[in-house]
């Protein structure tokens, strides 16, 4: 392959460097395009062809169904590592030694209390508030309680903010769920592992001793690992672009949580379960819903199917499908919803419409079934995704700051009115 790409405009040729990533991905570096051509820009709605940054965190090959964090395969990490090890790997670039891992966990535990005044903010939300809105607000509010986490130029300051948010997020999540359920808040137990403590804070009851179920701990740990990063998706790009203005980490994460909320992104896990329940209530006729999904005059889409970058099986979905079977088996749950999900998957994989468009089940298709078996309310599903994605957002934000990336500011092609004279209101 040549080293440059040529663009010809009005019989004038412009050359741009071709750059290659470590996995041989190829990009045309057009950073000088506008300056050298006197104002020409590229137009790429939805950024389907645009690389917004160089990144050394996550590699994915959507054609082959490959996903690696810092070079390690998602399959191996899900089987052999725990969530905090993966968080450390994503954020700092290497798997931690035993000492580094213990220190990281101790530092997170030391930050696992939130200011009591956070409760007042929580109290002010109506019970019907969607937990994603509450979590986004509380994450943003953390800045007010920890003002030193805004100006974080040194690695040391960044580290403090990182362990702070990793320590406090499980509390915010658990409290948001308990508040909605009318349960008293639980302050957790720092003698427990990160995931065990999260489960305790979510599910303990004031009148009984919470007993950990290793099957649930293992399943949740896996789910969090599988969600931990996914390179430049909608919420991650939001975190990077918000942080590029030098907004603090918590404000950037709050923006990312809002982006994740949408049903085309993280909100899909809630939408999948709602769809499966609706199909069940409607008599379980999967063929009817397959037909709706293919009907262009019907806005219905098969939630949990398709992905912007995976044009093959989502490798995370393969692992989650197995975990869902395992969890339901170990818990002795017989969920008719799982049968509907399996039926839909089988039909979609054999259907020409889905085959032609390379629409496969994505990570959200099966995660909701596990969350449901664990007793997590549907509205909390996307919040669980957010806890999982937290290390990825942090890693991407930190990378962006350390690389001293410029403020994100895309261009546009203006298609509005050209210059016109103002008409006074009495003459309009
Ligand atoms: N059901 C039916 N048709 C679909 C679906 C679907 N779930 N997804 C895509 N299509 C069709 C779409 O109508 C279009 O058809 P045509 O070429 O005839 O116009 C074609 O497939 C390409 O779709 P697109 O919308 O151009 O693809 P995209 O890359 O812009 O969108 C997506 C990707 C994930 C937003 C989309 O597949 C979708 O809406 N899926 C359902 C929501 C979902 O499960 N989202 C979770 C994504 S995974 C979690 C995460 O990482 O956030």
Position 141 scores a pLDDT of 95
pTM for this entry? 0.93
Cβ neighbours, 10 Å, residue 214: 9
What is the 3 state secondary structure string of the chain? CCCEEEEEECCEEEEEEEEECCCCCEEECCCCHHHHHCCCCCCCHHHCCCCCCCCCCEEEECCCCEEEECCEEHHHHHHHCCHHHHHHHHHHCCCCCHHHHHHHHHHHHHCCCCCCCHHHHHHHCCCCCCHHHHHHHHHHHHHHHCHHHCCCCCHHHHHHHHHHHHHHHHHHHHHHHHHHHCCCCCCCCCCCCHHHHHHHHHHCCCCCCCCCCHHHHHHHHHHHHHHCCCCCCHHHHHHHHHHCCCCCHHHHHHHHHHHHHCCCCCCHHHHHHHHHHHHHHCCCCHHHHHHHHHCCCCCCCCCCECCCCCCCCCHHHHHHHHHHHHHHHHHCCCCHHHHHHHHHHHHHHHCHHHHHCCCCECHHHHHHHHHHHCCCCHHHHHHHHHHHHHHHHHHHHHHHHHCCCCCCCCCCCCCCCCCCCCCCHHHC
Q: Is 356 a catalytic residue?
A: no
Q: Atom 35 (ligand 1): residue with closest C-alpha?
A: 264
Q: pLDDT tens digits for 392-421?
A: 999 999 999 999 999 999 999 999 999 999
Position 290 scores a pLDDT of 94
Q: Atom 39 (ligand 1): residue with closest C-alpha?
A: 264
Ligand 1 site, residue 351, Cβ cutoff 6 A: no
Ligand 1 atom with the smallest distance to the CA of 233 is 51
Judge whether 198 and 174 are in contact, CB under 8 Å.
yes
- As a whole number of angstroms, the distance between CA 6 and CA 172 comes to 52
Give 31 Cα–ligand 1 centroid separation in angstroms: 30
Ligand 1 site, residue 266, Cβ cutoff 6 A: yes
Ligand 1 site, residue 304, Cβ cutoff 6 A: yes
Of 416, 414, 412, the C-alpha closest to 42 is 412
Q: Mind listing the pLDDT tens digit of every residue in the chain (428 residues)? A: 889 999 999 999 999 999 999 999 999 999 999 999 999 999 999 999 999 999 999 999 988 999 999 999 999 999 999 999 999 999 999 999 999 999 999 999 999 999 999 999 999 999 999 999 999 999 999 999 988 777 777 888 899 999 999 999 999 999 999 999 999 999 999 999 999 999 999 999 999 999 999 989 999 999 999 999 999 999 999 999 999 999 999 999 999 999 999 999 999 899 999 999 999 999 999 999 999 999 999 999 999 999 988 888 889 998 988 888 888 888 888 888 888 988 898 999 999 999 999 999 888 888 988 999 899 999 999 999 999 999 999 999 999 999 999 999 999 999 999 999 999 999 99
Position 183 scores a pLDDT of 95
Q: Atom 14 (ligand 1): residue with closest C-alpha?
A: 357
Is 409 buried (19+), middle (13-18) or exposed (0-12) by CB count in 10 A? exposed
Q: Is 307 a catalytic residue?
A: yes
């Amino acid at each position: 392959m040549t080293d440059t790409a040529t663009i010809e405009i009005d019989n004038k040729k412009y050359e741009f460097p071709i750059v290659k990533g470590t996995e041989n991905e190829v990009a045309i570096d057009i950073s000088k395009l506008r300056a050298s051509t006197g104002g020409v820009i590229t137009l790429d709605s939805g950024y389907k062809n645009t690389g917004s940054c160089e990144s050394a965190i996550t590699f994915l090959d959507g054609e082959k169904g490959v996903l690696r964090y810092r070079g390690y395969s998602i399959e191996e990490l899900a089987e052999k590592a725990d969530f905090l090890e993966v968080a450390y790997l994503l954020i700092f670039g290497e798997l931690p030694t035993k000492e580094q891992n213990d220190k990281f966990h101790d530092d997170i535990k030391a930050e696992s209390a939130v200011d009591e005044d956070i409760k007042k903010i929580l109290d002010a939300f109506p019970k019907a508030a969607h937990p994603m809105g509450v979590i986004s607000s509380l994450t943003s509010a953390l800045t007010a309680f920890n003002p030193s986490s805004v100006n974080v130029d040194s690695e040391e300051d960044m580290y403090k903010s990182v362990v702070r948010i990793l320590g406090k997020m499980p509390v915010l999540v658990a409290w948001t769920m308990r508040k909605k359920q009318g349960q008293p808040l639980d302050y957790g137990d720092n003698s427990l592992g990160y995931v065990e403590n999260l489960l305790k804070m979510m599910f303990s009851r004031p009148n009984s001793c919470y007993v950990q179920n290793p099957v649930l701990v293992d399943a949740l740990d896996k789910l969090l690992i599988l969600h931990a990063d996914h390179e430049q998706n909608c919420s991650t790009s939001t975190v990077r672009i918000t942080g590029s203005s030098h907004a603090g980490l918590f404000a950037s994460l709050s923006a990312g949580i809002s982006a994740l909320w949408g049903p085309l992104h993280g909100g899909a896990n809630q939408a999948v379960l709602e769809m499966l329940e609706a199909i069940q209530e409607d008599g379980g006729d999967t063929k009817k819903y397959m037909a709706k999904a293919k009907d262009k005059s019907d806005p219905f889409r098969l939630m949990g199917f398709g992905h912007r970058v995976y044009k093959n099986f989502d490798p995370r979905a393969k692992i989650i499908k197995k975990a869902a079977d395992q969890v339901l088996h170990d818990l002795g749950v017989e969920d008719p919803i799982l049968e509907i999900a399996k039926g839909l998957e089988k039909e979609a994989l054999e259907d020409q419409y889905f085959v032609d468009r390379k629409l496969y089940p994505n990570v959200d298709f099966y995660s909701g079934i596990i969350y449901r078996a664990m007793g997590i309310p549907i509205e909390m599903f996307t919040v669980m995704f957010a806890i999982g994605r937290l290390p990825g957002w942090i890693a991407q934000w930190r990378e962006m700051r350390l690389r001293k990336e410029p403020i994100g500011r895309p261009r546009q092609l203006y298609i509005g009115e050209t210059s016109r004279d103002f008409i006074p209101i009495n003459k309009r």
